[in-house]
Amino acid sequence: MLLSEPQMRRLVFIKYLYNQAVLQSHQPEPSCWTSLLLFQDCVELFLGLACEFKNIQTKEKAYFNEYFELLNDKIKPKLIAEVSSMQRLNKGRVALKHHSIFPHKQDIENYRVSTSNFFEENTKLIFKGDFDSISLSDLVICDGARKSLKIAEQFIGKGETGNAIDNIAISFYQLIEDYENRNTILDKSPFDFGRLEMPFPFALALMADKDKVSRFIGNMGTAVIHMQKALKILSLGLDYRFYHDFNSFTPFVSKTDSGYELNRHIVYDNFHSEICRPYFDFVIQSALRLQEGEIWR
């Protein structure tokens, strides 16, 4: 794609907004209705960027349908794809926003499909690139996590599921580590919930039964480790329910002097590489959540 850096960043944001709309569209009613507003917003942002890219002068407040006319005049004999479906999308948005006419669930699904086709066809037509190839990893500020995500994307494209999921797991580790390091005060992370301690009288009582002591310490230690991890994710404001799935599927990551060590517990070769996408997106969402309102230093 031949876009400038600011234009590319806008296109990345458009894809991010589109992904948010897709996620929202899968929710039950009434939550799915808001996806209609998001779909229309990201399409309109795309049309505005396309006009700028093609050096088309637009009014300060151009109407939605005017973008199609301006672009078609510029690129003819080729034409913008999915115009009629986008006009239906706009009518649905007006009906919802201005007249409180709620769309049916099937309408939402149709809007999702047509919007997806709109971006796939018109990204090729206007920007000479693939919409799927637009990387949301560029939105991640943490250098290490962003680089690992880009490597993961390359492996997803090659169909190398194991290598892709390894780098996704590393990127999440780097993201959390970087955030903690930058927010540590007096060598104490606000997301460190301490070590397991046992009151002395209770420990003394257990000493009489060594097997009981061993089982207790093992069970308590395991429980505390899980609670510490859960508290950290929740205190960071991340999606714990998806983190549980992420943590169950991705390898365990530990840092060594030479880099990162991974402990796999799943044979990833049995999975298609596209299964990595939700986990990839989870890291992106987590990064954006951590970046909200933060002064980067």
Residues 123 and 25 in one domain: yes
Neighbouring CB atoms inside 10 A of 92's CB total 22
Q: Which residues neighbour 179 within 8 Å (Cβ) at sequence distance 6 or greater? A: 142, 236, 290
> What pLDDT score was predicted for residue 44?
95
> What pLDDT score was predicted for residue 296?
47
Of 79, 106, 134, the residue at which a domain comes to its end is 134
Contact yes or no for 171/251 (Cβ under 8 A): no
Residues 146 and 129 in one domain: no
Of 117, 134, 151, the residue at which a domain comes to its end is 134
Residues 174 and 123 in one domain: no
Residues 106 and 152 in one domain: no
195: tokens are: 């070590």
CATH number (domain holding residue 80): 1.20.120
Residues 178 and 246 in one domain: yes
Maximum separation of any 2 CA atoms in the chain, in Å: 89
The closest of 81, 67, 165 to 131, measured between CA atoms, is 81
Enclosing domain of residue 253 = 142-291
- Position 94 in a domain: yes
- Position 34 in a domain: yes
Residues 168 and 123 in one domain: no
- Position 296 in a domain: no
- Position 297 in a domain: no
Q: Which residues neighbour 167 within 8 Å (Cβ) at sequence distance 6 or greater? A: 148, 149, 151, 152, 155
Residues 178 and 220 in one domain: yes
* Strand intervals (E) in the chain: 252-256, 259-263
> What pLDDT score was predicted for residue 181?
85
State how many domains the chain has.
Answer: 2
Q: Cα separation of 97 and 87, whole Å?
A: 15
- Position 59 in a domain: yes
> What pLDDT score was predicted for residue 279?
92
The backbone region for 55, taken as left when phi is positive above 0, alpha when psi lies in -120 to 50, beta otherwise, is left
Enter the pTM of the model.
0.68
Residues 179 and 277 in one domain: yes
* 117 CA to centre of own chain: 21
Phi, psi of 259 (to 5 degrees): 145, -125
Helix, strand, coil % over all residues of the chain, rounded to 5: 70, 5, 25
The closest of 22, 78, 70, 36 to 50, measured between CA atoms, is 70
Q: Which residues neighbour 269 within 8 Å (Cβ) at sequence distance 6 or greater? A: 161, 162
Q: Which residues neighbour 295 within 8 Å (Cβ) at sequence distance 6 or greater? A: none
Residues 57 and 167 in one domain: no
Of 99, 134, 169, the residue at which a domain comes to its end is 134
Residues 77 and 147 in one domain: no
Residues 48 and 161 in one domain: no
Q: Cα separation of 48 and 122, whole Å?
A: 13
10 Å CB burial of residue 174 (0-12, 13-18, 19+) is buried
In this prediction, the residues of the chain whose per-residue pLDDT falls under 70 are: 1, 185-210, 212-213, 216-218, 221-224, 226, 293-297
Q: Cα separation of 40 and 201, whole Å?
A: 65
96: tokens are: 């919802």
Contact yes or no for 18/39 (Cβ under 8 A): yes
Phi, psi of 96 (to 5 degrees): -75, -50
> What pLDDT score was predicted for residue 235?
84
> What pLDDT score was predicted for residue 216?
66
Residues 27 and 76 in one domain: yes
> What pLDDT score was predicted for residue 205?
57
